Amino acid sequence: MERLLIIDGHSYAYRAFHAIRELHSPSGQPTNAIYGFIKMAAKLRASIVPTHWIVVWDGGLSAERVAALPGYKAQRPEMPELLKPQLDEIGDYLDASHIASFCRTGIEADDVIASIARRVEAMDWSVVIASSDKDFMQLVSQRIGLFNPHDKTETVWTDEQVRAKAGVEPAQIVDWLSLMGDSVDNIPGVPGVGPKTAADLLKQHGSVEKLMDRLDEVKSLKLRAALLEAKETVLRNRELVRLHEVACDVSPEEMAVTTPDAERLGALYLRWGFRTLLAELKEAASRERQPVLI
């Protein structure tokens, strides 16, 4: 079976940047995020063993979501200055490694990842999404799984792990997040409704629509009043949380795992001062009789 690994680019770049400190090239350029990203990508490939893979990057906030909620993700801090220049260098690494990469202005990575995952799922491929973003739990199916870097068990999440984490089915994740809100994305939920209360309400009623139609069945008067007052907020949240279909012109052939350009990678490793990676590349290239810049 074909297996596609989709890596949430910014998520892993940030993770690499904060995991490694004070790493610089011979010229003084910061390289901690570059090095960490390369090592993480290699570990993901070894663990998932994909036949295809792609790194997807954020192209900015969705205009539709910002129009619906002007404060959407507004609280997020600016990207660290030392990380910004490293993203282009990571792009050079991906290009030399023949790893597909996608970014489009005005389109959020989450929507691109969802669109690609659903498209190849329909082709009977299996998909693993590497990200810690809980929004992706809504995509989990028989063929789509999640690899959460925060999960030390390194398990590819199925509906079993989603139920254990959220207390609801993957198909209910949009409603679950809509009820409790998402502080990471600056989306307010129903006051007093946290993960457990949201899960309990959905277990009892099945969906937000059915819950709102049967509010008189909610025993707590305080909770009932809060739900009634926040009804429009919850319905709006569903459109904010639900991952949208977007155009992404990446072909299966472009995402195929292929042999990297050892000479270009060697030049990059030399420039960044990654001596261990350069030695490993030379050894691998020697076995495959590829030229490597010395």
Q: What is the pLDDT of residues 139-165, one digit of tens each?
A: 999 999 999 999 989 899 999 999 999
Express as a percent the part of the chain with pLDDT over 70. 98
Task: Say how far residue 200 (Cα) sits from the centre of its chain.
Answer: 27
The pLDDT of 165-180, averaged and rounded, is 98
**What was the pLDDT predicted at 56?**
98
Q: Which two tokens stand for residue 229?
A: 């007052």
d(CA 206, CA 159): 16
pLDDT band at 294 (very low <50, low <70, confident <90, very high): very low
- Nearest residue to 149 (alpha-carbon basis) of 258, 49, 57, 37: 37
> Look-up: residue for tokens 């990575």?
109
Domain 3-162+244-288, what architecture? 3-Layer(aba) Sandwich (3.40)
CATH number assigned to the domain covering 170-241 = 1.10.150.20
Residues 160-181 have a mean pLDDT of 97
- pLDDT for 289 equals 64
Q: What is the model's pTM?
A: 0.94
Residue 197 has pLDDT above 80, yes or no: yes
- 92: its two tokens: 């050079």
Does residue 71 register a pLDDT over 80?
yes
- pLDDT at 75 exceeding the cut of 60: yes
More confident of the two residues 287 and 223: 223
Here the tokens at position 224 are 């009932």
Query: What is the per-residue pLDDT for 44?
Result: 97
Q: DSSP characters for 140-189?
A: --SSEEEE-TT-TT-PEE-HHHHHHHHSS-GGGHHHHHHHH-BGGGTB--
Domain residue ranges in the chain: 3-162+244-288, 170-241
Give the Å distances, CA to CA, from 171 to 133, 200, 202, 209.
16, 15, 11, 14
pLDDT at residue 123 greater than cutoff 80: yes
Query: In the predicted model, what is the mean pLDDT of residues 78-104?
Result: 97
Give tens-digit pLDDT for 13-59.
999 999 998 899 999 999 999 999 999 999 999 999 999 999 999 99
Strand 126-130 to 156-157 pairing: unpaired
**3-162+244-288 and 170-241: same fold?**
no
Strand partners, 145: 128
Q: What are the Cα distances from residue 211, in Å, to 36, 157, 197, 203, 282?
A: 45, 28, 13, 10, 61
Other C-beta atoms closer than 10 Å to the C-beta of 247 total 8
Secondary structure of residue 279 in the 3-state scheme: helix
Q: What mean pLDDT is reported for the chain?
A: 95
* pLDDT, tens digit (0-9, with 9 covering 90-100), for 215-248: 999 999 999 999 999 999 999 999 999 999 999 9
Evaluate if residue 126 carries a pLDDT over 90. yes
Q: Give the list of residues 6+ apart from residue 77 with CB closer than 8 angstroms, or none.
A: none
Eight-state DSSP code of residue 10: H
How far apart are the C-alpha atoms of 221 and 77, rounded to whole Å?
A: 38
- For residue 256, give the nearest of 10, 2, 40 by alpha carbon: 2
| pLDDT confidence of residue 291 | 58
As a whole-number percent, the residues of the chain with pLDDT over 90 amount to 92
Residue 30 CA: distances (Å) to CA of 16, 43, 47, 67, 179 = 12, 22, 28, 37, 42
pLDDT at residue 149, rounded to an integer = 92
Instruction: Write the CB contacts of 253 (distance below 8 Å, at least 6 apart in sequence).
Output: none
Which amino acid is residue 172, in one-letter code?
Q
- The per-type count for the chain, helices as H runs and strands as E runs, is 14, 6
Residue 292 confidence (pLDDT) above 90: no
Q: How confident is the model at residue 256 (pLDDT cuts 50, 70, 90)?
A: very high
Give 182's strand partners.
187
Task: Write the Ramachandran bin of 167: left for phi over 0, alpha for psi from -120 to 50, otherwise beta.
Answer: left
